[in-house]
């Protein structure tokens, strides 16, 4: 039996049956978690996965997307209206892939907990911290590869060496670059200050780091196009432009060039890069004290999880938010085990 499925973006502009696209695949569909810089920085989340398609999407569906050539080898397509990453075209292989978070089982989505089955970690050479955390998924040992899934997988020793690279030699910078893959959105995050901690104590770990969470709710999944969004929560006055000016979060817009803004409801705004589609910020009018920042755009020296800036724990709030509504049960449980 093949998978009966739908492919959609957050706003619904990109919406198509996935049955023909997925061919004879059945749920769960095998895929790898990609830890490469390009996936992370163009999506805004820390790790991505794709499902191989039997052929290209139809031209009507593609017309709703914006194309971004992240390298000579591949073009990524994200919804021009809401920023959801939907497809990747790998030219040399003449292959199309769907961003795995956009695929929803057509019937009873909540009954299918495992749309994707993760069989490998790839491009761990770009960032190893999350792969180390997720060496086991669904009770299986998941092999790690420095680049593509090819040849021998990495040994335990190689992996831990990579994950601990230069941790102690990294200077404690006072500002953390937050820059999308194409560089159009180029911001900086400042360290929390003690006065922030007095007001927003629950946001900070030891008053020096921001809190990090994974969210697997439908909006966050579709917001980026991948199974988990990863957020950190920063007071607006600590989000700076590259020239050091504070970002001015006006009623509708900001003083930052290059953002596309999608209102998923009257009070909720998603700020994504209009060129590469990275989900950079998420803002709610009813929570003016902090703004969600997509951890995928953070350029920390130590890895994707930016651990010298972001504390990942289940203290106060669970490490994985909205666990019950996620579509990748094995992955969610593997992450949640670290909370």
CA–CA distances in Å: residue 272 to residues 176, 179, 208, 298, 333 = 19, 11, 27, 14, 28
| Type and span of the H or E element at 179 | strand 175-179
Q: Which is nearer to Zn ion, 207 or 264 (CB)?
A: 264
Map tokens 């911001």 to a residue.
Answer: 187
Neighbours of 269 (CB within 10 A): 21
Span of 82-90, 171-179, 238-246, 288-296 interacting with Zn ion by CB under 5 A: 82-90
* Interaction of residue 33 with Zn ion, rule CB under 5 A: no
- Does position 164 interact with Zn ion (CB under 5 A)? The reply is no
Determine, following the binding rule CB under 5 A, whether residue 79 of this chain makes contact with Zn ion: yes
**319 scored as a contact of Zn ion (CB under 5 A):** no
Q: Which is nearer to Zn ion, 308 or 335 (CB)?
A: 335
Residue that has been written with the tokens 């890069």 in this structure: 273
- Asked whether the CA dihedral 282, 265, 61, 2 is positive or negative, the reply is positive
Nearest distance in Å: CB 201, Zn ion: 23
Question: Is residue 36 near Zn ion by the rule CB under 5 A?
Answer: yes
Please report how close the Cβ of residue 317 comes to Zn ion at its closest, in angstroms. Answer: 12
Residue nearer to Zn ion on the CB measure, 39 or 176? 39
- Strand (E) or helix (H) holding 329: helix 329-336
Which of these ranges, 156-164, 180-188, 244-252, 327-335, lies near Zn ion under the rule CB under 5 A? 180-188
Asked whether position 297 contacts Zn ion by CB under 5 A, the answer is: no
The answer to whether residue 115 forms part of the interface with Zn ion (CB under 5 A) is no
**Does 37 help bind Zn ion (rule: CB under 5 A)?**
no
Task: Convert 297-312 to b/e letters by CB count within 10 Å (16 or more is b).
Answer: bbebebbbbbebbbbb
* 261 contributes a contact to Zn ion by CB under 5 A: no
Dihedral class, residue 183 (left if φ above 0, else alpha if ψ from -120 to 50, else beta):
left
DSSP 5-66: EEEE-SSSSSEEE-HHHHTT--SSEEEEEE--HHHHHHHSSS-B-EEE-SSPPPHHHHTTEE
Region binding Zn ion by CB under 5 A among candidate stretches 36-44, 92-100, 106-114, 291-299: 36-44
Of residues 82, 86, 130, 304, which one binds Zn ion by CB under 5 A? 82
Minimum distance of Zn ion from residue 78's CB (angstroms): 8
Q: Does 332 bind Zn ion (CB under 5 A)?
A: no
CB of 329 to Zn ion, least distance (A): 17
Q: Does residue 132 contact residue 160 with C-beta atoms inside 8 Å?
A: yes
184 binds Zn ion (CB under 5 A): yes
Write out the residues near Zn ion by the rule CB under 5 A: 9, 11, 13, 34, 36, 39, 79, 81-82, 180, 182, 184, 215, 217, 220, 273, 275-276
């Amino acid at each position: 039996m093949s998978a009966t499925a739908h492919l959609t973006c957050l706003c619904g502009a990109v919406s198509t049956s996935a049955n023909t696209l997925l061919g004879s695949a059945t749920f769960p569909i095998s895929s790898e978690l990609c830890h490469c810089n390009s996936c992370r920085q163009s999506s805004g989340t820390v790790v991505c996965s794709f499902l191989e398609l039997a052929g290209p999407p139809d031209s009507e569906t593609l017309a709703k997307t914006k194309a971004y050539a992240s390298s000579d080898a591949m073009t990524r397509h994200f919804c021009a209206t809401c920023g959801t990453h939907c497809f990747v075209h790998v030219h040399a292989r003449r292959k199309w892939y769907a961003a795995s978070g956009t695929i929803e089982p057509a019937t009873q989505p909540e009954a299918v907990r495992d749309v994707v089955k993760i069989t490998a970690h790839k491009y761990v050479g770009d960032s190893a911290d999350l792969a180390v955390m997720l060496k086991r998924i669904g009770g299986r040992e998941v092999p790690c590869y420095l680049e593509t899934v090819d040849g021998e997988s990495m040994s335990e020793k190689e992996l831990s060496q990579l994950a601990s690279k230069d941790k102690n030699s990294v200077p404690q910078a006072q500002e953390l670059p937050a820059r999308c893959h194409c560089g159009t959105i180029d911001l900086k995050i400042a360290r929390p200050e003690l006065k922030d901690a007095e007001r927003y104590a629950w946001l900070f770990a030891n008053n020096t780091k921001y809190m990090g969470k994974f969210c697997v709710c439908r909006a966050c999944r579709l917001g980026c196009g991948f199974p988990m969004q990863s957020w950190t929560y920063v007071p607006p006055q600590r989000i700076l432009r590259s020239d050091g000016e504070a970002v001015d979060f006006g009623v509708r817009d900001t003083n930052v060039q290059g953002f596309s803004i999608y209102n998923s409801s009257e009070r909720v705004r998603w700020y994504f890069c209009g060129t590469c589609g990275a989900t950079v910020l998420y803002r709610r009018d009813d929570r003016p004290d902090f703004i969600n920042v997509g951890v995928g755009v953070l350029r920390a020296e130590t890895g994707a999880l930016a651990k010298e800036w972001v504390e990942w724990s289940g203290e106060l709030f669970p490490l994985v938010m909205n666990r019950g509504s996620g579509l990748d049960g094995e992955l969610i449980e593997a992450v949640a085990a670290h909370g």
